[in-house]
Structure 1
Amino acid sequence: MDRRQLAGFLRSRRERITPAEVGLPAGPRRRTPGLRREEVAQLAFISAEYYTRLEQARGPRPSREVLAGLARALRLSDAERDHLHHLAGAPPGPPAGPSFEVRQSLLDLLNRLPQTAAIVLSATYEVIAWNDLAAALLEDFSALSRRDRSLIRRAFLGPRPEGGCRLYGLSDSDEFARSAARHLRATAARYPDDPGVAALVAELVDGSEEFARLWSSHDVCAKPTLCKTIRHPLVGPVTVDCDVLDITDRDQRLVLYTAAPGSPSDQALRLLSVIGTQRLDVPG
C-alpha cells in the first residue's frame, strides 16, 4: 500500500468534483474546490474520520468494499478504479458477478441517437438502460421492477397471450429465447460464484420445460437475428434492423433498433418518438 500516493490521488479526485455533480448544494461558505472530505465519506458510506486519515496518509489499508464505495463516490473511470486498487495494495480481480452499472458516456449516447431505439442489456439479459424511443417501441421500463426488466424471464416465464408470444410480439421470439439461454449458459460459466446468476438459472429450469431442455444441451453459440418485426399495439408491425454492440469491459451489450429510411416502419418510429409511452387507446 502506497499511503502517500493514495492520499494524493484521493485528494485530487475529490477536488475535481463539484457538489452539483453528486446532487449536493454548493452552499455559501465553500472555500475549497470540489467536495469536502465529509461529503466524500458520506457518499462512500464510511466515517469522515476514516476518510480523513486516508487523505493524510495515515489510514489502514482499505477493504475492497471501502474501495468500491470510494470509486463510486469519486465517480472514477474504470482506469482510475484500477489505479485506486493498486495504490491500496489490493489489485483488482475479476468481477464476482455481472455489472449492472452503465457508464455515463453510454447513457448520454442513448439519448443522442436519432430515430434509434436503444437498450443496454446486462450479461443476464436484464434491461439496465434505455432511451425514450425504446420505451415507446418496447415497454416503459421505468414503470417495471428490476425483476420484470429481465427479458429472459419474460421469454420463458411470462404470460403468453392467446395466439401471441411473450415478448413484445417479436417475430423471432422463439429464436430469441434459444439465444438467451445459450448466452446465459456462457454467463454462468464466467460467474460461477454469483448467487444472482445461480438463482436465475434455477428459477428458469424449475419454471420452464423449454428452458430446462435448452440448458441440458450445453449449447453456448448463438447466431444473431439481424432483422425482426415488433408488433406494436398502437402503430402495428414495425420491422427493424437489430445491431448488437459488445461493451466488453462491463460484459454488457448495446442493442440498436433502426428502420430503413423512408419505410413504413421508419414512419412508425417517428410517430412513436412523438407519442412516447402514452396510451392513445385509454380515455384521458
Structure 2
Amino acid sequence: MTASRSDFGPLLHGWRDRLSPADAGFTATGGRRAPGLRREELAQLAGLSVDYVLRLEQGRATSPSAQVVGALARALRLSRAERDLLYRSAGLLPPRDATIDTRVPAGVQRLTARLADVPIGVFAADWSLVWWNAMWCALHGDPAAVPPVERNLARAVFGTGAAHEAMRPVHSERGADSFAASIVGDLKHALSRYPADLQLSRLVQELKETSVVFAGLWETAATAEHTTDRKTVRHPEIGDIVLDCDVLVVPGADLRMVTYTAEAGSDDAGRLDLLRVTGGKAASTLS
C-alpha cells in the first residue's frame, strides 16, 4: 500500500480510535464520544504536546521527524507494516531491518502499564528511552519535557543538551566511572550488532567529538552490556532514595526494561510509596 502526506492525519486518527484506553493503561470513564484514545492520552503516551497531535491529525503540521513518528507508532502499538506505512505517509523511509528497532511489543506496553507501583523505563539498543510509566516520571522527571531526539541515556550522561540538563543526580554503588564505562561498553556492543544504523553511528560520533570522557572510554571500555546496579537517586522533593536498578532484556525485541525497586518495609520503600501518592511533587502543591 502506498501513502502520501495527506494520509498521515487520517491514519493517526483512525489508529487512535482503534486503541482502547484500557489496553493503553488508562482507566476508561464515561462521557467518551469515541471508544479509542483521546488526543491528550495519545500525546501523553508519545511524549508530545496535545496541540502538536491535533495539528498532525488536521494536516497543519506536515513534516514530523523520525523520532516523532516512531514515538507515535509505539504509542499506537502499530504492527511493523502499519509502522512502515506511517513513516511513508510522513515522507520518511521506514527503519531498515539492519537498524535498531524501537517498537515496543504490545505485551511489554501492557506490562509497564500494569506494574504501576514500579518505576519502569524501556530503552532501545542505543539507550534511547522509548516507553515509560507514571512512576518513572515521578522518580526521574517527565521525559515528555525533553525533545524526542534527546531522550537518550548516553546523551544524558555525556552530552550537554536538554537530556543532560534534565537528568536528576544518580549515584551508582559501583561508582560513576564504572557506570559511565558500562554505558559506553553497551553502545559499542550495539554498534557491533547494528553497523548500518545511521542514528547510532551519528550518536557515537557526536559524543566522541563533544565529550572528552566519552572519547576516552570509547578507546578503553570493553564491549559489554549494562546490567543490574544499586543506585541512589537524589529526588528534588523526596531526597535520596536508594534503589535496586535491574535491567531486564526483552527477548526478540532487543529492548531493555529498567526497573527500580526497594526492599519491602525499608525506609526507601516508604519513599517510593510517597512518590506514588504525590507523583513526585511537593506536598504543598497538592492541597
With normalisation by structure 1, the TM-score equals 0.63
Which runs of 5 or more structure 2 residues have no equivalent in the other structure? Answer: 1-13, 21-32, 36-75, 84-95
Instruction: Confirm whether residue 21 of structure 1 aligns to residue 18 of structure 2.
Output: yes
**Which residue does the alignment assign to 2:189?**
186
Instruction: Say how many residue pairs are matched.
Output: 207
Structure 1, gaps ≥5 residues long:
1-16, 27-72, 82-93, 160-164
Partner of 2:158: 156
The equivalent residue for 1:204 is 207
Q: Which amino acid in 1 is paired with 2:141?
A: E
For residues 25 and 241 of structure 1, the distance between their equivalents in structure 2, rounded to whole angstroms, comes to 41
Q: Deviation per CA, 1:166-223, whole angstroms, max 9, x where unpaired?
A: 8421112432221110010011111111110110011000011111111112611256
- Aligned residue number for residue 169 of structure 1: 169
Question: Residue type matched to 1:203 in 2?
Answer: E
Note the alpha carbon deviations across 1:1-52, whole angstroms, 9 max, x for none: xxxxxxxxxxxxxxxx9994259979xxxxxxxxxxxxxxxxxxxxxxxxxx
The answer for the alignment partner of 1:5 in structure 2 is: none
Q: Which amino acid aligns with 2:109?
A: L
Q: Are 2:139 and 1:137 aligned?
A: yes
CA distance in 2, matches of 1:276, 1:243: 22
Match of 1:273 among 270, 273, 276: 276
Change (3 A) 1:269 1:158: farther
Change (3 A) 1:241 1:168: same
Q: Distance in 2 between matches of 1:243 and 1:122?
A: 15
* Partner of residue 239, structure 1: 242
- In structure 2, the CA distance between the partners of 1:223 and 1:101, relative to structure 1 (3 Å rule), is closer
Q: CA deviation at 1:157?
A: 1.5
- Helix, strand or coil for the counterpart of 2:100? coil
Query: How does 1:15-164 map onto structure 2 within 5 Å?
Result: 20-21=17-18, 75-76=78-79, 95-158=97-160
Aligned-pair CA distance for 1:153: 0.5
Other-structure match for 1:42 = none
Q: Which has the larger radius of gyration?
A: 1
Of residues 191, 194, 198, the one that matches 1:195 is 198
Aligned AA for 1:171?
Answer: H
Q: CA deviation at 1:104?
A: 1.9
How far, CA to CA, are the matches of 2:129 and 2:156 in structure 1? 11
Q: 1:185 to 1:216 in 2, by over 3 A?
A: same
Q: Percent identity, please.
A: 30
Describe the shift of the 1:189–1:21 C-alpha distance in structure 2 as closer, same or farther (beyond 3 A): same
Seen in structure 2, the aligned counterparts of structure 1 residues 247 and 166 have a Cα distance that, compared at 3 Å, is: same
Partner of 1:254: 257
Residues 37-94 of structure 1: CA deviation (Å, up to 9, x unaligned): xxxxxxxxxxxxxxxxxxxxxxxxxxxxxxxxxxxx995489xx9xxxxxxxxxxxx8
2:223 is matched with 220
CA distance, structure 2, for counterparts of residue 270 and residue 205 of structure 1: 40
**Does the CA-based 8 Å contact 2:185-2:226 persist in structure 1?**
no
CA distance in structure 1 between the partners assigned to 2:259 and 2:19 by the alignment = 30
- Contact in 2 for aligned 1:158/1:166 (Cα 8 Å): no
